[in-house]
Amino acid sequence: MSSNLSVRQAVGLAVGAAGAAAGSVGYISAAQAADQGPVAAAPDATLSEVVVTGSRIRTTVDEATAAPITVIDSATITATGFQTAGDLMQQLPGVSGAPTTPAVNNGGGFGESNVELRGLDAKRTLVLLDGRRIGVFGGPGTSGAVDINQIPLNIIDHVDVLKEGAGAVYGSDAIAGVVNFVTRKGVQDLELTGEYGRTTKNDGEHQSFGLMWGGSTDKLDFVISGNYNKQKAVYAGSRNFSKDSLYLYSGSSGRFVSHAGSSRVPYGRASIPSTSPLSAAYGCANVTRTPGTDGTSTADYTCLHGSYNYQPFNLLMTPQERGAIFTSTTYHINDDVEIYASFLNNKTHSGFEIAPLPFDATADDVVISAANQYNPFGLDFGGLDLPNSNYRTRFVTLGDRFSKTNTDTKVVNFGLKGKLPVSDWQWDLNLSYNREDQKAQTFGYVYFPGLQNEVGPSFQNPDGSWGCGTDAAHAIAGCTPINFFDLNSPATIAALKDLNTSYNTDSSSIYKAAALDFNGTVMTLPAGDLRAAVGFQYQDQKADYNTDYLIHAAAPLYIKCLISQEACSGDSAGGYSSKELYAEALVPILKDLPGVNLLNLDVGVRYSDYSLFGSTTKFQGKLEYKPVKDVLLRGTFAQVFRAPTLIDLYAAPLNTSATFSDPCYGSTPAAAAANPNLAKACNGAYQVVGGYSYPGTAQITGVITSNPNLKPETGHVWTTGFVVQVPFVPNLSVTADYWNYDIKNIITQLDPNYSIQQCLTSGAAQFCDLVHRYLTGNNQGQIEVFALPNVNLGELKTNGVDADINYKLSNTPVGSFKFDLSGTFINKYESISLPGSAPLEIAGTYDRQFGNYAKFRGLGQVQWSMLGFEGLFSVQYINHMVIKTPATQNEAIFGQPNPDLEIPSIIYFNMTLGYNVAATKTKVQLGMQNIGDKQPPIMYQNNVTNANTDVSTYDTLGRRWFVSFLQKF
C-alpha cells in the first residue's frame, strides 16, 4: 500500500502544480513539498489515473482541465486559521446571495453553514464528501441545504469547487456547481491539534481539539479522527452597529433614522378607539402605563411615544458545540477487488436567543375582558375575530426566548470496487446511508388558555376574594385573576411563571442510495484513448416532522394554537425515490498537430425517473482545445435540474416575524378605484375611513409553508474561458471564464415585500391571494397573516466572469512565495416572476428575497515559507451596492423621494504566521482575522432581519485572534 500512498501524494502535488489550469486558490506549500522529499519529483513521473470532480471518467490530472474548478489545498486550509468549513467557503468570491451562517440568529440558531455558489440558493449547490452526495438537509427553520459545518476541517485533504452546472454527471442539485470535500488518505502519524481564540473585545471565545491516527499496510489503509469545536455566543448589544434597532424612514423633510424598535413595550400599549372619550382625554389613541403605577386606574396612563429596543437581547453569533467522529478504511481483498467504507458522525448543540416574548391580544386571540377587576378602561381588548381594541405588551419578566437544538448527523458509505477482465475497465458498487435527527426545545412562552382564564371576566366572592368567571355559578376552578396591566408586580410575575412553558419539535430525514458504476477505455483513437463511464443509481429520501401539541394549528393559516401565534405549526411527513442511468464519454479528437496541441470532447447524458414527477433526460458537453501547450481554450454546456427537497415539499409550517413595507398606508377607495391592483393588494385597508395608517410596527406575521405539488427546476448553464501559462514567466498563469445560467420553474420561499410588489405590478392571484388582512374591527386593514409558500416562481438569468491570477516564486533569499488573486463579477442577475413580466435586476443590489449581490467580490492571498516559517496574508473585497426603495413607508403614495440606499464597499485583512519544529514534528501558528476591525454596513431593520446588517455576508464579530498547534507522533 505504500506505493499507492506515494501515487496519492503525487497526484495531490500535481493538482497543486497544475492548479492554475483549474483556477485554483492555494497549493501545497514549498516547505511541505520539501519535507516530502522524493515526492517533489512526482510531477515528472507518469501520473496514475484518478476520478476528478466534474467527471466520472478516470483520467490523468493534466487532462482534467475542461471544467472551471477551484482547488483549496490542505496547506491553505491550515494557514487560514478557520475552524469550520463554513468560514473557509464563505470567503470565496463565487459565494454570494444569502447563505446561512452561525451569525443568523433570528431565523437560524442551528449553527449551520452552507455554500451558495453564484448566489443561486444553497440548495442549488451539490455537496459531496469524497465524491458521494450528502443527502440530509435539516429540519424546519433550517436552510434546507447541506450543513457543511458537520465536516471537520482536520479530516479534509482538499476542496474541489466546480463552478458550472453538472446535471448529467451528478443529477439533481448540481445547478450552480459542486463542492467536493476530499478527505485525507495515507495518514501515517498520530496527530493532535488544538486551537483557541477570541475577539479583541474579549468575547466570542472559540476553541477546538482534534485527534487523528492512520496507518497502512500492503492491504489496508485506515484513518480514524475525532474533533471537538466550541463557539461561545456574542450578543448584539456588545457592538455599536447592532445594539439599537434602527429603522430608516423618509418624510417631507427628507430621510431620517429612528431607533424605532418594537411596539410591544414592557409597560403595555393600549389602543383606544377614536370614538372613546378616553382617547380625547389622553389626546392620543395609544397609551402606556406610567412606571411606578399599577395600571388599575386610567390616570396611570400616558401617551405612548417610545418603543422597545429588542436588539441587545439578540445574538450576533449563535453558540455552538460540535463533536465529530470520522473513519475511513480501504482493504485490498486481492489484486482485483477492494472493499472500502467511511463513517462520519457529527453531533451539534446550538440555539438562538431573541428578546422576550411579545404579546398581541388580537393576533394571539386572547381577550382581556372589560369585566376583569384590573381593567381600568372598560374596554375589551383582543380576540382574533372580534372587533375589539388591541393591547400589546412584552413578557420581559419571563426572560428571553431561546432554543436548545441537538442535531445528530450520520453519513455512511460502503462499497466494493475492482477490475473487470476486459481491458482496463473497473467497477464500483456503492451503498450510502445518511440520516439526520434534530430535536429542538424552545423556551420563553406562555400557555394562553390559562392566561385567557386569568385575564377574562372576574367576580368578587362574598368573602372579598376574587375569582375567574362571570359569576360564582360560572367560576373557573383553580383560577385567580391577574393584573395583566402591570407585568412587574410580584403576584403577576408568579402567576406568569406558572403559565411559562416550552415546546418541542423533532425532525428526521433519511437518505439511502445504491450505485453501480463502470469506467474504462472503449477504444484507442489516433489522438488517444476514448474513455467512458456508465452507471445506475437508486435514491430514496424520507422526512418526518413532529411538533408539540402546544403548537398544533389548523390549516391553511396556522395562526391559532395554545401558545403564541409565532410558534404555531403542524406535523408533516413525506418522501420520494428516483432511478437514474448515466453515460459519459471522453473523446480525444486531435493531438500534437500544428495549431492543435490537444482537442478533446467530453459528452454525458443522464436519464432520471422520479416518483414525484416522472422522468427527465439531461445532456452536457465540454470542449477542451489547446492550440499550443501553454494555452487552453475551454467551453462547457449543461442541461440542469433540481428536484424539490424534502423541506421544499414536506416541512412543517413555520410562523415568522417578517419585516414588511406596506404600500397600503394612506390608501383610499378613490386610489383603489384608479388602480385595480392596489385594491387587490390592500383588500380591507383601502376601505378604512380616513385611510389605513401605520400600525406602529414594521413587523408582520408570516407563515412559511412547504408545497407537495412543486415541480423540478430546469435550465441550462454554459461557460467559456481560457487558461494561459504565461510564456517566459515560470509558474505564472492567468485564467478567465464567462458563465451564463438560465433556470426556470424556480423553487423559492416568497418574501412578503416581493409578493406585494408583484401583486401591485401584475394583479396575479398567486401573489395577491397571499395577503390576509383584518376586514373588520379596530385592526381593519392591518395584516392578519401573510402566506409565504414555497412556489415555482418564474425564471432566473445570471451571467458574469471569474478570473484568477496565480504565481509561484520559489527559493528566493527571503523565502518562497505563492500569489493568488481571484475575483467574480456578476454582470446580470434577473428575476422574471411571471412569463411576460418585466425582469427585476438584482445584480449590484441587496434584496430581501434574494440576498447580497455585490457586482464584484475578490480574494487575494500571499503565502510565504522560509526556514520552517509559514505565513498567509489575505485580502477579501466586497463591492459597493444599493438597496432599492428601502424606507418602511411607500413614499410613492405621499409623493416624497425615496432614493436607493447606498451600501459601501468593504475590505477585510487576515494574517497568520506559523513555525514548524522539524525535530519534534510540531507546528505552532498565530493569526488574526479582520485585522482592521471593519464593522458591517448599516442596512436598517426594515431591510434585514438580524443586527441592522446582512449577517450572511459581512463579518459581525470584528477583529479576533487565535493560536493553534499541530503535534505529530
Q: Which residue has the higher pLDDT, 699 or 768?
A: 768
The pTM of the full predicted model, rounded to 2 decimals, is 0.88
Cis peptide before 556 (omega within 30 of 0): yes
**Whether pLDDT at 34 is above 70:** no
Question: CA-based angle 604:608:614, to the nearest 5?
Answer: 145
Residue 827 phi/psi, 5° resolution?
-80, -40
Predicted confidence (pLDDT) per residue in 60-105, tens digit: 655 446 788 889 998 899 888 898 999 999 999 999 999 999 999 9
Predicted confidence (pLDDT) per residue in 301-313, tens digit: 999 988 899 999 9
**Whether pLDDT at 40 is above 60:** no
* Other Cβ atoms closer than 10 A to 213: 16
User: Confidence band (pLDDT; 50, 70, 90) for 890?
Assistant: very low
Predicted confidence (pLDDT) per residue in 325-338, tens digit: 999 999 999 999 99
* Other Cβ atoms closer than 10 A to 472: 11
Residue 127 phi/psi, 5° resolution?
-110, 125
> Stretch 772-778: mean pLDDT, rounded?
78
Query: What is the dihedral sign for C-alpha 198, 350, 161, 936?
Result: negative
C-beta separation of 414 from 428 below 8 A: no
Residue 271 phi/psi, 5° resolution?
-95, 120
Which of 653-662, 732-741, 774-783 holds the top average pLDDT?
Answer: 732-741
Residues 6 or more apart in contact with residue 613 via CB below 8 angstroms: 643, 711, 712
Mean pLDDT lowest among 397-406, 695-704, 769-778, 794-803: 695-704
pLDDT score, position 32: 32
**Whether pLDDT at 430 is above 50:** yes
Predicted confidence (pLDDT) per residue in 612-663, tens digit: 889 999 999 999 999 999 999 999 999 999 999 888 899 888 888 777 878 8
Mean pLDDT of the chain: 88
User: For residue 740, what are the β-bridge partners?
Assistant: 718, 799
DSSP conformational letter for 839: P
pLDDT score, position 698: 66
Give the type of residue at 763: G
| Cell of residue 609, nine digits | 425517473
> Stretch 221-236: mean pLDDT, rounded?
96
Nearest to 169 by CA among 575, 621, 509, 600: 621
% of the chain at pLDDT higher than 70: 91
Give dist(CA 179, CA 122) in Å, integer.
11
**Whether pLDDT at 611 is above 90:** yes
